[in-house]
Structure 1
Amino acid sequence: MRLTVAVTELLFSYGTLRQRDVQVSTFGRELDGRPDAIVGYDVHYVTITDPKVIATSGSDRHPILKPSDRAGAAVEGTVFEISETELAAADEYEVDDYHRVAVPLRSGDQAWVYVFAR
């Protein structure tokens, strides 16, 4: 049985939110997405200390985006169409190292993405 969700938001993921287990735990379903990229950022890594997030993702080392001055900087990922309720669930999943911002993607779409909070 397929669940119908009212789509109102685009969420760009480059990390653990692309994992099936994380999606099912966070959103109650597996998401369908399409490839895209965020321009002007580089991937770095952060050590997660929240036991629930570590258990859900299977790792304490998660990617995190920081703005880049490097020419051609871009990070490949996946765009998901989600509801406002699911976006709030994503906010709950992400630890304090992350901050959600709206950004333009390579495709021209605008999506929410979690970047380095400091």
Structure 2
Amino acid sequence: MQKLFAYGTLKNEEVQENLFERILHGTPETLIGYELNEIQIEEEFGIAHYPIIMETKDSNDTISGILYEVTMKELHQVDLYEGLHYKRVEVTLQSNQKAWTYSAF
């Protein structure tokens, strides 16, 4: 299993149901050294706003999220879902666990 840190739309049960055909169960977790920003993405019906994280390396910057376990196949599904605007990066969480998350390019 792969660890996935979610901080935005991936926490949404409807999104999870569409992506994985199941609801994920996770635990609260914190990412240190990143800040939460917003990205604008042009979609079929106009501009949509989504959260995106950017590394700051400042230990005062933290992001709250949820840590999930997913299969490698599900992780690849997330890669497709996140598209061209996000990149998958490995991060170390406050609990010292390593996990995948999606960040700005």
TM-score (norm 2): 0.92
Cα RMSD for the two superposed structures: 1.6
Distance 2:51 2:39 in 1: 6
> Do the aligned residues in 2 keep the contact of 1:50 with 1:95 (CA within 8 Å)?
no
Q: Deviations over 1:51-100 (max 9, x none)?
A: 4xx8xxxx921100011154411100000000001000100100211000
* Matching residue within 47, 71, 78 for 1:90: 78
The alignment covers a number of residue pairs equal to 104
Report the Cα distance in structure 2 between the residues aligned to 1:15 and 1:41, rounded to whole angstroms: 14
2:37 counterpart of 1:44: yes
The 1:26/1:81 distance shift into structure 2, 3 A limit, reads same
Give the C-alpha shift of residue 48 in structure 1: 2.1
Among all aligned residue pairs of Structure 1 and Structure 2, give the percentage whose two residues are the same amino acid. Answer: 33
- 19, 30, 48: which is aligned to 1:26? 19
Indicate conservation of the 8 Å contact 1:9/1:84, yes or no: yes
Letter in 2 for 1:93: Y
Unpaired segments ≥5 residues, structure 1: 1-7
Amino acid at match of 2:103: V
Q: 4+ residue runs of structure 1 moved beyond 6 angstroms?
A: none
TM-score, with structure 1 as normaliser: 0.82
